Chains A and B, each alone.
Chain A
């Protein structure tokens, strides 16, 4: 038995921990004294503390031993020692999930909760609610209602907070306590007010009208609690956001008025709410920015941090609004809290002029080693943004980044730097060689396989097109000698690209390849053998198809198709065209950079959206035999946002059919819809084959129905069509509370918006890393060219955007970015047409009064070329 004061500890002074050598079994043994009469409160109290301490340390208690201890503990309710009783409540809460039959203490707790001792009542309510389930909740409902409106604040608060916890589990029961909560909200006690507001909002948040009413009431009457004010501000700004209310609404006035509250917490919450509103004008931001500016010189580090973090966010969208704070921010760059200093500098980098960049970079490099990785990433992101703003500064930045690259740091940090360098290279062609040189140096000593392979891939893509490709060979071949399998394999692929692009390097590359063929790893050897054979053919088309532009199929799709193929013995060779294509990820380089972003992203490979659709559609018998899913469109809204029924459509394209998937949600709580179908009337010669209804649509549970349409076979150029859609269903009225439907229903219908099928629905995006090579590979057998005038378009950017969204093809070679101050541009687009035909489009654009466009289309199929030109015209 370990005693509270171990003798040894006493002698050695204060360094020891009386709980240090606790053994679970010994403590449980001790717990037997709970059964002794009379109860010794002191000793029992101490044993309970030990049990809670052990649970807190993460000690595992088995169900049997926990239950045994729990039952022994229930005897302690006989003692009237206050602290002991309170510790019993804590034990109940801690053991609620590990012990069995915890409900046996219900009556003791109910007694304490309604008893005379006010000290017991609040904690007893909280313990009771922890062990209560929905069925038992009905039994204590009466007491809960009384407790919510109790005049003792701790009782009322405890009841309100416990109710809030139980909303998730038993919404329907807690909902009935709204009136009591309403009464508690007008309590004088500030915490009761806050808790009541929180519960009321939680119960009403789906009813916008009720929320609006509640806000009106409280903003007028005023509240005492600063916490409650913060909550009101959050509710108001959410409501503003949802209703897209203008900034002249009373809600905005309320938030703004909170900027003059006397509590800093409320002022900051209001300022932060205003800053986060979309579409705020500089004038509306000004008062919020000026209170944040005041906070910058607060003695409290937390407040300075909060202020500068929020200003950093403002600076991303409205750098000019923050310029007024530059002086205060300058004072913060030497703040002893490095997080504050970093945020101040990155903010200044966004708001300052080009001339201050050098000075700030120098300042930040003086302490970059002291700050945490999260903030280093923030710095890198700020630099990345800066490079886009001041392209001329790229040499300073590049230097700084390469220094950072040499320092120690975690993976996230290194990846941010590598991404930043890559984006600089892509934005500024003149920085390409220095950038590649830094990256080459980095992979010489890089422990992150992912980054090494990424850089090798980039070298393979960019290296052969530099003036001196030979100097990269050494760095790449070093990897083959020194690194792990994955990196070696990537290095072999990169080498092959040099051989394919540069004829004078080909002999040397072949020699190196020969050495790679003796590698110990299968993958590396296979790659080397494959590339060796392709390169020896010396054919441009082969190089393009097998070295520059790899496979563009979806990997899970390929796996599934191959598996299917091996199951059915057949003489036919495997057809690559039967494999669904990979959906190109949306590469949005201009993603907003949050200063302090969470780095916790799920790293596992999630199947793409299309793979999931493929699986779901394959499960429906009527859709078997349609072949692989070719493309799934984005969701199209077929209803207004605020209607009785919400319907969205996803268009799935197959080789000869289309499936329209309608995701419907019923927002009426007094109706149950059954046998829901969406009837479609095509404008062209499309033929509706079957409807697959959604059998039942209860309130707020989404369901899907499908329509299968056959595409016209005789006229392959008929790619666009308009469908008028009507939703038909059987309505049964039902009780809004129980969801119990009436027996009888009636048929009804609901007109939806028209659905368009366009040429883009027949084309899947495919990225060709080397467009020139792909262009040669397809050849000019079926090439057609035509010139169009785009009268309504004013700029090249706009024209490029329109063409891409109209054709739904993938821009290659970064040709979707129009350089500034140019009046001509060439756009390269790649895609695959339904049925698996590669197609490439080159659009030369010239800006005069309008935009003139010369379109050249190449494909392996003549009809595809015709379809494209016909649809453009």
Chain B
């Protein structure tokens, strides 16, 4: 039976309440002792992108026992944001979790792992995310551009992490798998209308001249 992070989750259901109770006591002490975690591929606990007001643009929580409700999640994001948005320090420790982060213009990217997690693994996820986004956004890593290409962002995150497991950490591989191109000149209804509008204007001006 293993005791989970920070004494939070208790794995392995024992048949009798007694054994369970003892685990609860153990969790109470576990914060005092460094303990070896069960080796597993579940490295990333959460990943989120916030804007410069701390609003959530995208967020994924991979461990159901960690912040199960939206309210708790947003609280955590708020807490993380308050502690990190002033200085670009790459790494912080918030609510018992290791958080690596990176900012770009008006965006903040966060990757969260347990306190025992190898910090460099988290960094490799973060930099893969950032590089891949930077590629599809043509280096314009800012809020508006990100929101305009939200589907690409969702797909990239999906290719980097699957349920907390690092699926890919090489940005080139990610881009190849996603095979997504940002809109160069979006030919939506509006833009047609805009083209027409500007054409009208030009004609108007040329007549007036």
Interface residues of A (CB under 8 A from B): 3-5, 7, 14-19, 42, 45-46, 48-49, 52-53, 56-58, 82-83, 86-87, 90, 93, 119, 122-123, 126, 154, 157-158, 161-162, 164-165, 191, 194-195, 198, 201-202, 205, 227, 230-231, 234-235, 237-238, 241, 264-265, 268-269, 272, 276, 300-303, 305-306, 313, 336-339, 372, 374-375, 591-594, 596-602, 606, 609, 612-613, 616, 635, 650, 661, 663, 701-704
Contact = CB atoms under 8 A, between A and B. Distances in A.
A703 B56 contact: no
B67 to A, nearest CB: 11
B179 A238 contact: no
A663 B19 contact: yes
B147 A198 contact: no
Given A161-B162, A598-B95, 17 more contacts: A7-B190, A17-B143, A83-B155, A83-B180, A90-B154, A157-B167, A201-B39, A265-B124, A300-B90, A337-B91, A372-B94, A597-B31, A609-B18, A609-B21, A616-B17, A702-B15, A703-B15
A87 B40 CA distance: 29
Nearest to A153: B173
B202 interface: no
Contacts of A227: 121, 166, 169
A609 B188 contact: no
Chief secondary structure at chain A's binding surface: helix
Interface residues on B, range: 35 or more
Contacts of B94: 372, 374
Given A14-B142, A123-B158, A302-B119, A195 B147 contact: no
A375 B17 CA distance: 36
B25 A302 contact: no
A227 B42 CA distance: 12
B6 A600 contact: yes
17 contacts: A4-B148, A5-B188, A5-B191, A15-B144, A83-B155, A162-B162, A191-B168, A195-B165, A201-B39, A227-B169, A231-B41, A241-B36, A302-B122, A305-B119, A306-B120, A609-B21, A616-B17
Nearest to A313: B34
Contacts of B19: 663, 702
A485 to B, nearest CB: 29
Given A123-B158, A161-B167, A337-B89, A601 B36 contact: no
Nearest to A13: B144
Contacts of B152: 83
A739 B19 CA distance: 23
B96 A599 contact: yes
Contacts of B207: none
Contacts of B147: 17-19
A702 B16 contact: yes
A596 B93 contact: yes
B133 to A, nearest CB: 15
Given A598-B6, A601-B28, A612 B21 contact: yes
Contact of B33 (A157, A158, A594): A594
B8 interface: yes
Interface string B1-33: 000011110000011111101101101110111
B135 to A, nearest CB: 16
A86 B39 contact: no
A126 B24 CA distance: 35
Contacts of B6: 597-598, 600
Contact of B31 (A119, A594, A663): A594
A305 B15 contact: no
Contacts of A606: 24
Top 10 nearest A-B pairs by Cβ distance? Answer: A598-B6, A598-B96, A58-B70, A234-B39, A198-B41, A301-B90, A14-B144, A337-B89, A265-B120, A306-B119
